[in-house]
Amino acid sequence: MRRQDLLPRLASYLSSMELTVFCLIVLMILTVACTLAQVSLGIHQAVEQYVRSFFVWWRPEGLPFALPIFPGGGLAGGLLVLNLGMVQFRRLEVSWRKAGLWIIHFGMALLFIGEFATAFLQVESHLTIEEGQTMNYSVDPRRMELAVIDATDGDADDVRSIPTSMLKERTEISDASLPFALRVQSYYENAELRMRGSDDPPSMATAGVGTGVLARPAPRPLGEELDIPAALIEPVARDGRSYGVFLVSPNLGAPQEFVHEGRRWLISLRPKRYYMPFSLTLKDFKHDVYPGTQIPKNFSSLVRLLDPRSQDDRDVLIYMNSPLRHGGLTFYQASFGKDNTLSVLQVVRNPSWTLPYISCALVAIGLLWHFGLMLRRTLGGLS
């Protein structure tokens, strides 16, 4: 087949109704499969595996690699956006009579673009705060970081954050902001930790509390259960002097400590923190239930927002379906604990959060325009 014949046929297929129907069927199958998979994988893993991927992968037992077995939501959604664009510019005439269809197509394309933007740009975390406590950061329990902290000055810690992707490479980490290097001896995405017994082999950790702890890799959990990673880190001065091998893990409950050139340093493997240029103080938390039951009726957090940048100092009530939006972040009431003295706020940063609303508005306007013109023509024909 000649190239000049291939391009028109490809353009014709990309703008065909068959491709539209195929993409919609694939998306419906993925929706059902993702819903069923949430039972075993949990919501986050199921969405990542079926919706926010270009292929659904399957790893046969005994093979060291996975095989693509079905189109993912990213591929089907991208093809549908391309299909809508091709239909719009190849088949729809530019006229007031077809303006409604143009607006509808733009709205539908914007809906899928918004989902892609959300998948790449949205960051979710949690802010856990007790009454009377002030917080200026949230944490993401699904992402970990190696925090290297200069704690010499008691008033404020100087923190360097190292992503776990660098730990997985098990190489030496050097940074101009650190006066020493970090050698990664081992990294476990999910680990089992327990106190060493008399029959256990010697610990790979030679310093800190890890010398009495046995760490070994464990299968990654399914569902909503989180990984408990662990790493063996060796700080090394520039002259080659080692400060020992430290075991770090969120389950240890405390950072490991050493002194370098008279300064006190801490290293900790912990949930990733997102610092905010403002602070929230929980003044009061309320948990209301329906009379005579333990069924939650409402729970709300009264917080004080203090933002030195804008000189914003005010009280805000956060409750179900009434979030706080400030500084590009949205704070939702998510959970509570400690006999109703602790509040958990879900913190979402999503620069594309307005796109679905704009998309729905465009589709609604396009439908009103298109069917309004058809109704007008029908009524005009009857008269």
**Residues contacting residue 84 through CB under 8 Å, at least 6 positions apart:** 20, 105, 108, 109
pLDDT of residue 383: 56
Cβ–Cβ under 8 Å, residues 327 and 92: no
Pairing of strands 263-289, 213-217: unpaired
Residue 356 token pair: 């679905």
pLDDT of residue 202: 83
What pTM was computed for the model?
0.78
pLDDT of residue 115: 82
Residue 102 token pair: 């143009």
Task: Residue 183: count other Cβ atoms within 10 Å of its Cβ.
Answer: 16
pLDDT of residue 214: 85
Give pLDDT tens digits for 256-267.
Answer: 999 998 999 999
Residue 253 token pair: 């409950």
pLDDT of residue 155: 67
The pLDDT tens digits along the chain (383 residues) read: 555 677 778 888 888 888 989 999 999 999 999 999 888 887 888 888 898 889 999 888 777 788 899 999 989 988 988 888 888 787 777 778 888 888 988 898 888 888 888 888 889 999 999 999 999 999 998 899 999 999 888 666 788 899 988 888 778 888 888 899 999 999 999 998 888 888 888 888 899 888 888 888 888 777 677 888 999 999 999 888 999 999 999 988 788 999 998 999 999 999 999 999 999 999 999 988 788 777 777 889 999 999 999 889 999 999 988 999 999 999 999 988 888 899 999 999 999 888 999 999 999 999 999 888 888 888 876 65
Write out the DSSP string of 67-135.
EEEEE-HHHHHHHHHHHHHHHHHHHS--SGGGHHHHHHHHHHHHHHHHHHHHHHH-EEEEEEEETT-EE
Which among 206, 215, 214 is positioned nearest to 235, based on CA atoms? 206
pLDDT of residue 146: 93
pLDDT of residue 368: 93
Cβ–Cβ under 8 Å, residues 162 and 154: no
Cβ–Cβ under 8 Å, residues 75 and 82: no
CA 306/CA 316 separation, integer angstroms: 11
Give pLDDT tens digits for 233-284.
Answer: 999 998 889 999 999 999 887 889 999 989 999 999 999 999 999 999 999 9
Which among 221, 149, 227 is positioned nearest to 182, based on CA atoms? 149
DSSP collapsed to 3 states, 138-175 = EEEEEEEEEEEEECCCCCCCEEEEEEHHHHHCCCEECC
* Backbone CA torsion sign across 198, 202, 208, 214: negative
Cα end-to-end span (Å), the chain: 55
Q: Give the SS3 label for residue 356.
A: helix
